[in-house]
């Protein structure tokens, strides 16, 4: 006998449902576990290291922000079956999800709660090593191709595995918008809750695609840093005059978003509130933003409009700034144009100096840092910022206290193809 799901009366839901953050989970190049990662970030630790394997020896870039699947914390959380049947990024997403759900104290048992809990989690690109290895296996024989090959390379499989593991039957959604993936996932999850499609959403992004082919491909695009192979900790330097490209990173960060009243009723810890979400397209070039910053300006403006706040209320921007010569300058231009004279009052930071650019997991990891900055009143530093591109208020080298009547921030994420996302985040 088939049991039909209960139908919620959406018409009775408030059109202005507030969305808050009640759980966080992180796996990153600077550690595993949200508290550990946040503490390491504030201490100025850097997780960018040399790629010592011989396959990288002839490449122009030989550094990255690496997460080792041999890490004790990860090995305790992952079974051999997980590692065999799932892509590395999916494994990292499951570890971060377990922490986030535990942090939120949300492991629903009832059908009702499971039906109103969803997942929105994506990745920027699949692991090219999987594809190369499987192609080599096929040359030996058909039977050498793993039956898990296709599921391992599907970008939505991390969201699917989370949903399956916990029985979540709300929206099951996967975003793949290059380096804006993580921010778009959070923004979409925010809208699902705001419009009544779910009460709780597990959201974020995961990435684990560092391989010789991936590094070579980005090098051919002239996107990666090549001047600091012997000093990897100095390579990622957002907004600095000596920046020469980004550094690939990997990891996962997962947020539990929740409808405000739902969180209050169960006495959940609330880190921050998602006030608004803005999106835009540059419609200009596959890798470079518009020189006038108009794409970023549109994205930030739409986030402010969605949040229904004035631009003068923003006192922190967690920038996308990847350490590329073109991108950082254009984002700086966009901030100046949008905020005008108020731009010098805004604390601007990019944490990519510490962990590199996590591609599809960049926006969500940095959203976690923006949320924790709101929660603790401390803005993390931009490492290696010796000679800033301009006179904006960059938080350089050491963290700064965030003294504001109400702490409200923007988190920017921009991706290849000209896709832009901005989140507006505030202390409750």
Spatial separation of the C-alpha atoms in residues 108 and 245, rounded to whole Å: 44
The C-alpha atoms of residue 3 and residue 115 are separated, in whole angstroms, by 13
Q: How far is 359 from 114, CA to CA, in rounded Å? A: 30
Active site residue 320: yes
In DSSP notation, 164-178 reads HHHT--S-EE----G
Instruction: State which H helix or E strand residue 161 sits in.
Output: helix 157-166
Confirm whether 316 is a catalytic residue.
Answer: no
Q: Is there a catalytic annotation at residue 357?
A: yes
CA distance 90 to 162: 9
Count the neighbouring beta carbons within 10 Å of the beta carbon of residue 80: 8
* Cα–Cα distance for residue pair 385/178, rounded to 1 Å: 26
Catalytic residue selected from 173, 262, 316, 320 = 320
How far is Cα 45 from Cα 82, in angstroms, rounded to an integer?
30
Question: If you search the block for the tokens 């006998």, which residue do you land on?
Answer: 1
Q: How far is CA 83 from the centre of its chain?
A: 22
Helix axes 362-376, 34-42, angle to 10 degrees: 80
CA-to-CA distance for 278 and 339, rounded, in angstroms? Answer: 16
Residue 73: name the closest of 28, 134, 139, 131 by CA. Answer: 28
Phi/psi for 186 (5° steps) reads: -65, -45
**What is the rounded CA–CA span in Å between residue 71 and residue 76?**
9
Q: Which residue has the tokens 């989370």?
A: 162
Distances (CA, A) of 326 to 76, 295, 359, 361, 418: 42, 14, 17, 21, 14
Q: Return the structure tokens found at 399.
A: 């963290």
Annotated catalytic residues are 179, 320, 357
């Amino acid at each position: 006998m088939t049991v039909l799901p209960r139908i919620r009366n959406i018409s009775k839901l408030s059109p202005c449902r507030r969305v808050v953050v009640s759980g966080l989970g992180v796996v990153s190049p600077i550690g595993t576990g949200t508290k550990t990662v946040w503490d390491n970030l504030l201490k100025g630790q850097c997780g960018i290291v040399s790629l010592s394997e011989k396959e990288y020896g002839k490449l122009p870039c030989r550094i990255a922000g690496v997460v080792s699947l041999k890490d004790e914390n990860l090995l305790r959380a992952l079974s051999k079956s997980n590692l065999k049947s799932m892509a590395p990024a999916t494994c990292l997403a499951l570890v971060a999800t377990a922490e986030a759900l535990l942090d939120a104290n949300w492991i629903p048992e009832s059908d009702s709660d499971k039906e109103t809990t969803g997942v929105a989690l994506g990745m920027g690109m699949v692991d090219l090593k999987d594809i190369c290895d499987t192609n080599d296996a096929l040359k030996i024989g058909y039977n050498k191709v793993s039956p898990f090959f296709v599921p391992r390379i599907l970008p939505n499989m991390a969201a699917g595995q989370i949903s399956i593991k916990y029985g979540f039957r709300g929206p099951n959604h996967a975003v793949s918008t290059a380096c804006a993936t993580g921010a778009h996932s959070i923004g979409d999850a925010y809208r699902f809750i705001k419009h009544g499609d779910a009460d709780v959403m597990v959201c974020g992004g995961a990435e684990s695609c560092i391989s010789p082919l991936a590094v070579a491909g980005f090098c051919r695009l002239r996107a990666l840093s090549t001047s600091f192979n012997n000093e990897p900790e100095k390579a990622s330097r957002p907004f600095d005059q000596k920046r020469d490209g980004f550094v690939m990173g990997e990891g996962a960060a997962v947020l539990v978003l929740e409808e405000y009243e739902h969180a209050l009723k169960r006495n959940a810890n609330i880190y921050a509130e998602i006030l608004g979400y803005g999106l835009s397209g540059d419609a200009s070039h596959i890798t470079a933003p518009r020189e006038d910053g108009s794409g970023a300006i549109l994205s930030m403006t739409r986030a402010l409009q969605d949040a229904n706040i004035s631009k003068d209320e923003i006192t922190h921007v967690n920038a996308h700034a990847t350490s590329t010569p073109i991108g950082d300058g254009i984002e700086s231009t966009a901030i100046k144009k949008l905020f005008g004279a108020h731009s010098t009052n805004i604390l601007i930071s990019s944490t990519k100096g510490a962990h590199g650019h996590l591609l599809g997991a960049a926006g969500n990891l940095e959203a976690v840092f923006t949320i924790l900055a709101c929660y603790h009143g401390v803005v993390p530093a931009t490492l290696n910022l010796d000679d800033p591109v301009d006179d904006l208020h960059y938080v350089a080298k050491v963290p700064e206290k965030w003294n504001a009547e109400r702490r409200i921030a923007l988190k920017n994420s921009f991706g290849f193809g000209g896709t832009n996302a901005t989140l507006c985040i505030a202390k409750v």
